[in-house]
Every structure is written in structure tokens, then in C-alpha cells.
Amino acid sequence: MSILEKYGPWALIAGASEGTGAAFAHRLAAEGLKLILIARRQAPLEELAAQLRTAYGTECVTASINLAAPDAIEKIAAASEGREVGLYISNAGGDPNGTAFFKTDIRAWIDLVARNVVTVMQASHLLGAPMRKRGRGGIILVGSGACYGGASGLGVYSGSKAFDLCFGEGLWAELRGHGVHVLNLILGRTDTPEFRRHCAARGVPVPSGLASAEDVARVGLERLPHGPVHNWGLEDDEQGRMLQSAATRRNRILAMEAAMADLKIAK
């Protein structure tokens, strides 16, 4: 079955303007999906949409939305209204601060949590509920290996990504019997314009061995039916530097589900 048949006709990509978001957009457009492209900056979105229309003849809708703003979910709802969104890719959610906790105003950290946690949860509810009702769909939460533990300068970012990881695993458990796939795509260092800007701002060279945005999009879509977790560069049963392998986390969820069966929590 094609990606269009599994997840079409529309895909919504949050954080679509460049890097992995743009790579997802190109791959999905090539598969025949129509796209709702969301990011803060309008100009790069329009440029990407023009490229996709020319290259693939696909229909694109763009929406300039600050995903940390209180009205973000209302704007997402407006952009997706009347369109059957079968695939939601939460690709926004980096750490624009890049500092120790006490060196940045608390409002910046609140914005990070709003973008990485609150809006992700709201959008998953908005778009996932119709998928569940239809009996098909997909949700990819693009995460970071920082989700597995905090470190200096990463406390809020790691905490937000840890929320996304546990939240995505819960969604997978709830939706797996309803034909909806959920994947936490846990990335390491990836060659994106944002990462290169980060290196340039700190006067450090771009390291070798980066994952390409195109490979991230390809692997993410390949692994989506096999959630709830894919750790970049590792096989399903490999732990690597992570606390647990993807398979171990999946088995833990299933074991918890069995242990709680007598409580009859509705899915």
C-alpha cells in the first residue's frame, strides 16, 4: 500500500520551511499527498510551496504560525479546516536559546515548552481524533536523543522532549488498535540549516557524520508503521547510547497495558 493510500490525502507538517521539514514535504509531495505547510516564517514557506507545485504538481497550503503563541492551535485548525489530514508531522521544536537555564529570561523557556509540549499535544488531539474515527492515519513526533536525560544547558529542552516521547508512546498504545500509526523519531545530529547556524554562531566547525535531512524523512516514513520509537542509527533491538532500545520500550508499554487490563481504560 502506498503512503498516499495509508495516510492521504493531506499531510500537515509543522516546522516545514527548511531542513527535515522540507525534506518530508518533498518526499510526501512525490508520493502524491497534498500538503499543509506550517512554520513561523512566511517567505521560506511560500518558496518551498512553489518548488513543490512545480516539481510534483501537488496542492499546497501555507500558514505562518508562531507555534509558541497561545492562538497557535486556532490557526492550525483554520489551516486544516475542511481537509482530511491523514498524516501529522510535528517537526518544529528545537532549542533556539542554546544557553544555561539561568542565563535566559524565563519567558523564552515558557515559549519553548509551549511550542514543544502544549501545541504538540493540542495538534495531536485536533488531528488525531478524526484519524481514530476514520480508522487510518499517522503521527510522527520528531524528537531528540536529549529526551533520554537532562544535561547542562539542556534542562528545559530535554524535559520537553521527554514529555513528547512519553506522550507519543501513550498515543501509540491508544491508537494502535484503530489503524493509526504513531512514531517518536528520535534524532541525533542532523545536517540542517538551523544546526549549521548554531555552529556558526558559536564559531565551531560543522562536525562530520551528520544525518542528512533526506535520510531522516525517508527513514521516518519507513518506520512509522513500526512505532512507537525509532532511535536514529540503531536497529530496533539496539540500545546504543540510549537508556533503552526501541524494542524494550515497546515491550514495556505492552506489559503495562496487560497489567492494567483489569482497569478497563478505554482506548
Per-residue pLDDT of the chain (267 residues; tens, 9 = 90+): 899 999 989 999 999 999 999 999 999 999 999 999 999 999 999 999 999 999 999 999 999 999 999 999 999 999 999 999 999 999 987 888 878 999 999 999 999 999 999 999 999 999 999 999 999 999 999 999 999 998 888 899 999 999 999 999 999 999 999 999 999 999 998 888 787 887 787 788 888 889 999 999 999 999 999 999 999 999 999 998 888 899 999 999 999 888 888 776 766
User: Domains in the chain, start-ordered, CATH in brackets?
Assistant: 3-263 (3.40.50.720)
Residue 147 and residue 120 in contact, taking contact as beta carbons nearer than 8 Å: no
Rg (the chain; Cα; Å): 18
Query: CB neighbours (10 Å) of residue 178?
Result: 15
What backbone phi and psi angles, to 5 degrees, belong to 108?
-65, -40
pLDDT of residue 266: 60
Residue 130 and residue 83 in contact, taking contact as beta carbons nearer than 8 Å: no
Q: How far apart are CA 196 and CA 205, in angstroms?
A: 9
pTM assigned to the model: 0.94
Q: How far apart are the first and last CA of the chain?
A: 26
Strand 190-191 vs strand 85-90: parallel, antiparallel, or unpaired? unpaired
Which parts of 8-105 fold into alpha helices (H)?
19-30, 42-56, 72-80
Query: Residue 207 CA to chain centroid, in angstroms?
Result: 24
